[in-house]
Amino acid sequence: MAEIETFYEVMRRQGITRRSFMKYCSLTASALGLGPAFVPKIAHAMETKPRTPVIWVNGLECTCCSESFIRGAHPLAKDVVLSMISLDYSHTLMAAAGHAAEAALEETIQKYKGNYILAVEGNPPLNEDGMFCIVGGKPFVEQLRHAAKDAKAIISWGACASYGCVQAAAPNPTRATPVHKVITDKPIIKVPGCPPIAEVMTGVITYMLTFDRLPELDRQGRPAMFYSQRIHDKCYRRPHFDAGQFVEQWDDEYARKGYCLYKMGCKGPTTYNACSTVRWNEGVSFPIQSGHGCIGCSEDGFWDQGGFYDRLTTIKQFGVEATADQMGFAAAGVVGAGIAAHVAASALKRAQKKTQDKEEV
């Protein structure tokens, strides 16, 4: 196989200075929750390791993942990551078109056989032999299988690739199917969210490129460093939840005071993602901060859980039917009941506290 240049060489070629490079290494270390001791390790890895080629393909999707990705965190990190992965094949951003583009994909696959990362945005629809999503005259599912065959690992970007997302919503007209149900013989890392947070995307890809291995994954195949806590756990409105202070109606007095959105249907208590810590649009805000509850877009099946504005405890499916999914629903039911208990307990505590305060007076 041809000699592949190192990350550092690629960055230098793209005009990134040594100083910026070192800054980037420390940013990465902190973004990934690693100590300062890791900075020289990251720098060393990037100076000596050959660059990992990335092929980025698009199936049934809305391009929101790409949109999120190109708005990545620190402008520097974004520059570096973009130049680093060089997106050997990216449908949305590359220069080549038509047959030239198809040729570029093929060439990249051949040149870096067994060595590239396949990033998948969107998913393949399987109904009608895949005819609902045609790329280059062939069903996307064929392109996906072909590109996956020689990939080292696969990143499933977003809720589409990870779980199916809204196009898989009942009745799932095209039988949109998540990547791991089509490709079963490759390591797959799921980065769910609709879209995923830009910093999470760059963080995951940087980790893989730098350390040449998958980050630690949870049981669902998500990187633990970004998906191990619920939105609720680090939500800045959490004290209001604990105090039993809730928004009752859009833009009411309590909304202006920033009370908890649980009663407006917020799914923060059952959603694992980094929104309440990393936040969105370069750390400016996140949905709850803008006064709207979380819809749980990084959770499997978020699109078919009853109305998006239903309170968690009133999710209609609970216990209604005995199906193959009964176990899953039952588990979700426990979470719902847990929350109800949690609210009650919090309010109770508050009441007790009040009584105690009175007694002390």
Partner 1 sequence: MTGTRLIVGPFNRVEGDLEVHLDVADGAVRSARVNAPLYRGFERMLLGRPPSDALTLTPRICGICSISQSAAAARALAAAGGHVPAPQGERVAALIHAIENVSDHLTHFTLFFMPDFARSCYAGRSWHARAVDRFAAMEGAAARQAIEARAALMHILGLMAGKWPHTLAIQPGGVTRAPGPRDKVRIAASLAAFRRYLEDVVFGGPLEAFAALSTREALMDWETGDAGLFLRIAADLDLDALGRGEGRYLSFGAYPLAGGHAFAPGLWRCGARYPLDLSGLVEDVSHAWMLGGPAHPGEGQTLPDEDMREAAYSWCKAPRLNGESYETGALARQVIDGHPLARDLAGGGVLARVAGRLLELARTQGLMEDLSRGIEPAARFMDPAPEVREGAGAGLVEAARGALGHWLRVEKGRIAGYQIVAPTTWNFSPRDAAGQPGPLEAALVGAPVAQGDETPVTVQHIVRSFDPCMVCTVH
Burial (CB count <10 Å: 0-12, 13-18, 19+), residue 356 = exposed
Residues of 120-156 as b/e, b for ≥16 C-beta within 10 angstroms? bbbbbbbeeebebbebeeebbbebbeebbebbbbbbb
User: Which segment (18-26, 120-128, 325-333, 336-344) binds partner 1 by CB under 8 A?
Assistant: 120-128
| Identity of the residue, 8 or 132, whose beta carbon is nearer to partner 1 in the bound complex | 132
CB of residue 299 vs partner 1: minimum separation in angstroms? 13
Q: Which of 40, 307, 319, 328: binder of partner 1 (CB under 8 A)? A: 307
| Identity of the residue, 38 or 272, whose beta carbon is nearer to partner 1 in the bound complex | 272
Rule CB under 8 A: say whether 250 interacts with partner 1. Answer: yes
* Distance in angstroms (rounded) separating the CA atoms of residues 235 and 244: 15
Residues 320-349 contacting partner 1, CB under 8 A: none
133 belongs to an annotated ligand binding site: no
User: Which segment (3-11, 35-43, 201-209, 277-285) binds partner 1 by CB under 8 A?
Assistant: 277-285
Collect all residues with Cβ–Cβ distance below 8 Å to 241 and sequence separation of at least 6: 232, 235, 260, 262, 343, 346
| Identity of the residue, 2 or 97, whose beta carbon is nearer to partner 1 in the bound complex | 97
Residues 170-209 contacting partner 1, CB under 8 A: 170-174, 176, 194-195
φ/ψ of 277, rounded to 5, equals: -105, -55
CB of residue 284 vs partner 1: minimum separation in angstroms? 3
| Identity of the residue, 128 or 212, whose beta carbon is nearer to partner 1 in the bound complex | 128
Residues 8-67 contacting partner 1, CB under 8 A: 14, 58, 60-67
Q: Which of 145, 256, 353, 354: binder of partner 1 (CB under 8 A)? A: 256
Rule CB under 8 A: say whether 281 interacts with partner 1. Answer: yes
Burial (CB count <10 Å: 0-12, 13-18, 19+), residue 3 = exposed
- How many Cα neighbours within 13 Å face the side chain of 302? 26
The residue type at 245: Q
Q: Which of 132, 207, 262, 318: binder of partner 1 (CB under 8 A)? A: 132
* Distance in angstroms (rounded) separating the CA atoms of residues 282 and 261: 23
